[in-house]
Amino acid sequence: MARRLLAAGHAVTVWNRTAAKAEALAGAGAHAVSDLQDAVRGAHIVISMLEAGPTVDGVLRAALPGLAQNALWIDMSSTQQAEAQAFHAQLTAQGRRFIDAPVSGGVGGAAAGTLAIMAGGAAEDFAEAEPVLAAMGRATLVGPAGAGQVAKLCNQLIVGATINIVAEAILLAQAAGADPAAMRAAIRGGFAESKILDVHGQRMLERNFVAGGKVSTQLKDQRNILAAAEAAGIVLPLTELVTARYLTLSKTIPQADHSAALIGLEQLNPGQRVGDAPDKLS
């Protein structure tokens, strides 16, 4: 994502909790710094991309003393809706501005600049941020602060559930005597076609579970979905089942790709296994 910003001609200062990760971008034209406040000082727009809400909270609090008045902080991490709303309240109370703008599209989308970006915040702040976000993908304002995280959770709800359904279809084909690869090819182009069937269906057939999106990350998202549902006063029974599946999988292979839902399904069905290739986990 930083490389896409640089390629679009933006001046980018980079900081990372692991300094070597920031320094690796120096060759692409970024100004790498080792101090967080040096990174944000004087910046009109600050973009964060971190692992979870508590990490965003810690970085934001540490950066705040160096953050310019009226600066716009765009958090592209995946957090809880309530966390994003708290970040917004904290920054606006201090004379700064905030947008939550989580993304979907994975490592490939980030590298290609084709991420789906779901933004929550004030319309005027989004209008200012949109030309910058455009370097990384397609941004859509979906509501006030926190709404971007809701949209991302809806995305992850569909992704997490569909991965499990694709795994069930592939295992059913295998167990019932059909060729799983041929089944997948046959249904593509019909109503069951999806990015999940395309990308993760192929991963399952190849037994390639090297992480793009980790089981542990999907489990975090599933829990955030259920937290948002509870706050909204609704029940999501299928999401509860999907969360339980990822919780089980996280106990043995938390760092595997979330398409390893197939492995969990095979464990429920002793003697059934798709293909004969060894599992590729790292």
Active site residues: 152
pLDDT digits (tens, 9 = 90+) for 227-278: 999 989 999 999 999 999 999 999 999 999 999 999 999 999 999 999 999 9
Tell me the two tokens of residue 228: 């948002």
Identify which of 61, 105, 52 has the alpha carbon closest to the alpha carbon of residue 87.
61
Round to whole Å and give the CA distance between 252 and 249.
Answer: 6
Share of the chain above pLDDT 70, in %: 100
Tell me the two tokens of residue 147: 């709404």
Residues 87, 77: contact at Cβ < 8 Å?
no
Q: State the pLDDT at residue 91.
A: 97
String of DSSP letters for 182-244: HHHHHHTTSTT--HIIIIIHHHHHHTB---SSBHHHHHHHHHHHHHHHHHHT---HHHHHHHH
pLDDT digits (tens, 9 = 90+) for 161-217: 999 999 999 999 999 999 999 999 999 999 999 999 999 999 999 999 999 889 999
pLDDT digits (tens, 9 = 90+) for 149-171: 999 999 999 999 999 999 999 99
> What is the value of pTM for the model shown?
0.85
Mean pLDDT of 1-28: 94
Count CB atoms within 10 A of the CB of residue 49: 18
Averaged confidence pLDDT in the chain: 95
